[in-house]
Amino acid sequence: MTADRRCYQCGYALRGLATTGRCPECGADYDPGNRQLEPWPPPLTVCVRIGWPLIGLAFCVGVIPFGGDGDFFIFPGYAFLLAAPINGYFQVRSMLKRHMPERRRTTGFVAFLRGLGTLVCVLAALLFLLPLILLGTCLVFGFPNF
Ligand SMILES: [Zn+2]
């Protein structure tokens, strides 16, 4: 594990350096007690961590034409749809925190993309929550008579 140590601030490889010290690249203090950057997980792991709700959704949508009971699969399908933006947001957030140097994570293009991603996730979650909010409102205050 020592071979993979990197500076948390700038990502500089600390290989061959003392266990505790100052990063030669950016001057940040490091020691084994500090949070360390980990190597990126394999691409398939990243896809599964972010994409599992879409796989579930595809399954729910896919079984209906093949004789699956539509009513039975509506609720899990909806749950997967709602889980996609929420899970995506938290997965990306935790992966960036663990695998990307703080300086690169919090500045420039990456910071812009993160803001954009957050916006998309929040809007998607709100959009998918809307039917649930409407249904809840109707259950509490009664359904409108059109
Ligand atoms: Zn550094």
Distance (angstroms) between ligand 1 centre and the Cα of 8 equals 7
Q: Which long-range contacts (CB under 8 A, 24 or more apart) does 27-31 make?
A: 30/5
Distance (angstroms) between ligand 1 centre and the Cα of 93 equals 21
Identify the domain containing residue 50 by its residue range. Answer: 42-141
Distance (angstroms) between ligand 1 centre and the Cα of 107 equals 15
For residue 69, the model assigns a pLDDT of: 73
Q: What are phi and psi of 18, to 5 degrees?
A: -60, 155
Distance (angstroms) between ligand 1 centre and the Cα of 137 equals 52
**Structural domain count, the chain:** 2
Q: Are residues 76 and 118 in the same domain?
A: yes
DSSP one-letter code for 6: B
| pLDDT profile of the chain (146 residues), mean per 10 | 72 86 89 78 94 93 76 85 94 92 90 95 93 90 81
Q: Are residues 107 and 35 in the same domain?
A: no
Q: Are residues 65 and 134 in the same domain?
A: yes
Distance (angstroms) between ligand 1 centre and the Cα of 11 equals 6
